[in-house]
Structure 1
């Protein structure tokens, strides 16, 4: 094992140990106001960006920005080419940038605009996407990149295509995270088909079929969808009887990512496994803290999803 991977593993473990964890998030969730919760974050790694936050959306975004910053730092400790393992794992930040891009004037989107996340060496093609003037140009950039063609240039198709492509890229490029990617693809497909009632664009349907099995994206009902899924997606939805209960599967997904990431940190001495484990644990921590901040903003009343994970 190269010295770079050893250094990266040491750094990854040190980062994971510094974050608040479930106990810290629970304390933040119990705060009676957002201001009190933000003061509690002053002693955590999230302070770098959160100290300037104004309001709940800004604070939650600051938590995500802190996560991305630390993953960029971690990438700098890895040997040449080692950062490639992180690129699919942080692709959600590039998706978020496109959501904000589409929400800008003239973008025809409906999301909440905000400053783009700075991905640095972990970007795929964000700088080219940022220069695209129309949704059609966004589609063209995606089609000529590892993201692939989303199948249409409507905001929904662009974002759905990127989210499914993120699952495909993770499954192919990060073996330790394949199960998470497959389960994520199942959640995305189930919501689009059976909650929103939308058929997947052809390229998205092909990706879903590769990850979930050929019959899954064309299932006539949610029950049939569950029955034809391949593992681990079948396990994720095992007792989620109705599409309206998919939030339970979402919580289960986060718990699985945390447990698997913790196991990777514990069982792998060095190498990519430790790094992937750290990304998993840090990502779940950021999810918890964002949920905890929302709880504090409501006066310290955690939601059911937060309670189930924390």
Structure 2
């Protein structure tokens, strides 16, 4: 046991304990208006960068920014291996930045990118790419790997599967989450939108889900051929149109595992991974609550269903 892991794990547990939690999220969801929900949110860990006059999209982005800031602070308390783990678990922010960059290359406005700091993998170079082909070249020369195509959908799918495969390989306690996420990504991209996997995306999918599942010609066969480590993520999704429910259930399942990690004694990687996961789940729930409040609470029943 090193002093670095002791400090990192202690900080992780403290930050996880300070999250808003399900009760506060439901209070937000039940607020009579978004402005009232933001007033309540200003008393939580999400107050950083929060504009009380923001619309739902801006408010949700501020919540994501607050989560990223927490992960950056947590990474600063870790020994080098812990910081590397958090960089992997925060991969979604670099993927989001890349998605926004690709949209801007086709003429859409680009919001300010998430500030990744030491959690960046290839973002400074990706931000300077002037074409999708340029984005592909940067990815190919980095840990992300070559997605095999410069099509925006292929670039982003390749990144998501790359992050899942590297997480499963390098963070064993999160391997189940990574496999479940990969199953959801593949189900949506292949069986709902009809895209093909290319390059390292195909390789990473096979590593996580097996050749039989990846080559399945239809959604029902895909579900049946998934390994147990990934099949759980598609429970209840009988057809591709049901995937949104499965995707929503992924976070609560991850959170349950993560809470168990935090409850165990020890000063190692597990509480750090658990803290990152419960913070991510908390931010996901708060973002959903803000969406509900923006609709004057009319979606409260759906929100309660998501909470399980």
Instruction: Could you tell me which runs of 5 or more consecutive residues in structure 2 were left unpaired when the two chains were aligned.
Output: none
Task: Report 1:63-142 matches (<5 A).
Answer: 63-104=63-104, 107-108=105-106, 113-142=110-139
Cα distance in 1 for residues equivalent to 2:266 and 2:303: 31
Q: CA deviation at 1:218?
A: 1.5
Q: Deviations over 1:1-45 (max 9, x none)?
A: 111111111111111111110000000000111110000011101
Look up the match of 1:19. Answer: 19
Task: Indicate which of 246, 255, 258 corresponds to 2:255.
Answer: 258
Q: 1:145-178, CA deviations, whole angstroms, 9 ceiling, x for partnerless residues?
A: 0000011111111111111111111111211111
Partner of 1:144: 141
Deviation at 1:248, TM superposition (A): 2.1
1:227 to partner: Cα distance = 1.1
Is the CA contact (8 Å cut-off) linking 1:60 and 1:293 kept in structure 2?
A: yes
Task: Report the alpha carbon displacement of residue 82 of structure 1 after superposing the two structures with TM.
Answer: 2.5
Q: Which of the residues 191, 198, 209 maps onto 2:188?
A: 191
Q: How many residues align?
A: 307
Residue aligning to 2:241: 244
Secondary structure of the residue aligned to 1:232 is helix
- CA 1:180–1:130 in 2, change beyond 3 Å: closer, same or farther? same
Shift of 1:294: 0.5
TM-score between the two structures when normalised by the length of structure 2? 0.96
1:238, CA displacement in angstroms?
3.4
CA RMSD of aligned residues (A): 1.5
CA contact (8 A) 1:103 1:113 kept: yes
Distance in 2 separating the partners of 1:239 and 1:136: 38
Do the aligned residues in 2 keep the contact of 1:103 with 1:109 (CA within 8 Å)?
yes
* 1:271 equivalent in structure 2: 268
3-state SS in 2 of match to 1:150: coil
Secondary structure class of the residue paired with 1:215: helix
**What displacement does 1:53 show?**
6.0
Structure 1 stretches lacking a partner, 5+ long: none
Match of 1:207 among 204, 207, 221: 204
| 2:151 is the alignment partner of 1:154 | yes
